[in-house]
Amino acid sequence: MKTIFTLFALTVSLITCKAQQVYPLNADFDEVADHSYLKDLNNELTPYLGTYKATYNGNEITLVITKEDKKLIELTSKKFYQDVLHVKYTVKDITTGTILDDNLNPTGPDKKKLESMGTNALDNNSIDLYYSGTKCGIGWGRITLLKINDTQFKWTYYPNSSIFSGNDCPDSKSIKVYLPDTENLIFTKQ
């Protein structure tokens, strides 16, 4: 009897179990089922992987770009999985060699996140990234990487404005944004 019940429970669970639905990377997450997977089916993220460098205003910026498959994205209205790029960076003063900013080894609640949101719907050669900003969210916004060739892309940073007084952020040293606030800065693969 116990074996029959076990087989019955297994059969019911197999029948009611739905396979995870897979969609292209740029599918509208509002239109997909909960717990769906927005997968990089056409390897659109792969050309951006690696280490890239550029100089801007006396600083050397190094980007280390990696890919995470099937990252859980949790929004208030939905949960889904998506392939994403993670961008770690350092900004170094060329003259002194001082590291001005980095997120290579982020820890704690103040870690700065730079992560892809998908490819640009208007042109398949670019990736849109979300930047969480500094400790107090200063500089949060969108960064677009536009592929030029196999070894270079253009960086364009669109920071959103944040209004705060110096008292709003307890560690005012953490509010300066060192990422290049510019358009069409060329990064070269190392």
> Domain residues of the chain, as ranges?
20-189
- Ramachandran area for residue 54 (φ above 0: left; ψ -120 to 50: alpha; else beta): beta
pLDDT for position 35: 93
**Three-state secondary structure string covering the chain:** CHHHHHHHHHHHHHHHCCCCCEEECCCCCCCCCCCCEEECCCCCCHHHCEEEEEEECCEEEEEEEEEEEEEEEECCCCEEEEEEEEEEEEEEECCCCCEEEECCCCCCCCCCCEEEEEECCCCCCEEEEEECCCCCCCCCEEEEEEECCCCEEEEEEEECCCCCCHHHCCCHHHHCCCCCCCCCEEEEEC
Please list the pLDDT of the chain residue by residue as tens digits (190 residues). 556 545 555 454 444 455 679 999 888 888 889 999 999 998 999 999 999 999 999 999 999 999 999 999 998 889 999 999 999 999 999 999 999 988 887 665 556 789 998 888 677 679 999 998 887 778 889 999 999 999 999 999 999 866 655 566 666 556 788 999 999 999 999 9
Whole-angstrom distance, CA of residue 82 vs CA of residue 65: 16
pLDDT for position 37: 95
pLDDT for position 62: 97
Whole-angstrom distance, CA of residue 56 vs CA of residue 176: 16
- Ramachandran area for residue 133 (φ above 0: left; ψ -120 to 50: alpha; else beta): left
